[in-house]
């Protein structure tokens, strides 16, 4: 699975003008299993575990000479997925809850000013999606 997270702006504590724009791009390799047999054929549930690798990048804002930096993103991941197959179509709606534990948590810092961003030690994610099955 590949994911590009939208850029987010963050600020240096105590100063609303100084900060950075941070973006995350990841690729994940997951192994999934169905923990219970679905009571109805249209519903399916999966428990998945694996890892993510990617790039966390940031650009300073509000400074005279903004610089861009990037760091390796590596994380362990556990997720639960629930899918509903739309009858008479190849479409299915999905919902996902995931917990991610970053293995690398480097700070993004504005030189001489302070820290702009540091990944949390535990990240929660929720998602909704639409799948198309090609048979």
| pLDDT for residue 50 is more than 90 | yes
Q: Is 60 left (phi over 0), alpha (psi -120 to 50) or beta?
A: beta
Label residue 38 by pLDDT band (50, 70, 90). low
Assess contact for 70 and 55: CB atoms under 8 A: yes
| pLDDT score, position 52 | 96
Burial of 113 (0-12, 13-18, 19+ CB in 10 A): middle
- The model scores a pTM over 0.75: yes
Which pair of tokens denotes residue 88? Answer: 């008479």
Assess contact for 77 and 30: CB atoms under 8 A: yes
Least confident of 4-13, 72-81, 124-133: 4-13
Assess contact for 25 and 39: CB atoms under 8 A: no
Question: Where is pLDDT greater, at 7 or 35?
Answer: 7
pLDDT per residue as tens digits for the range 78-112: 999 999 999 999 999 999 999 999 999 888 877 77
Least confident of 47-61, 84-98, 100-114, 121-135: 100-114
- Domains in the chain: how many in total? 1
Q: What percent of the chain has pLDDT over 70?
A: 96
Range of the domain at 10: 2-132
Helix (H, G, I), strand (E, B) or coil at 1: coil
Question: Where is pLDDT greater, at 55 or 38?
Answer: 55
pLDDT per residue as tens digits for the range 79-88: 999 999 999 9
> % helix / strand / coil in the chain, to the nearest 5?
0, 65, 35
């Amino acid at each position: 699975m590949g994911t590009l997270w939208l850029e987010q702006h963050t600020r240096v504590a105590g100063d609303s003008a100084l900060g950075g724009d941070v973006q995350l791009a990841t690729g994940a390799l997951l192994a999934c299993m169905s923990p219970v047999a679905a009571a109805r054929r249209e519903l399916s549930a999966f428990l998945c575990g694996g890892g993510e690798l990617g790039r966390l990048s940031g650009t300073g804002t509000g400074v005279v000479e903004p610089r861009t930096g990037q760091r390796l993103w590596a994380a362990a991941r556990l997720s639960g997925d629930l899918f509903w197959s739309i009858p008479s179509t190849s479409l299915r709606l999905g919902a996902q809850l995931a917990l991610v534990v970053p293995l690398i948590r480097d700070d993004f810092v504005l030189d001489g000013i302070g820290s702009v961003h540091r990944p949390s030690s535990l990240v929660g994610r929720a998602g909704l999606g639409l799948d198309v099955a090609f048979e």
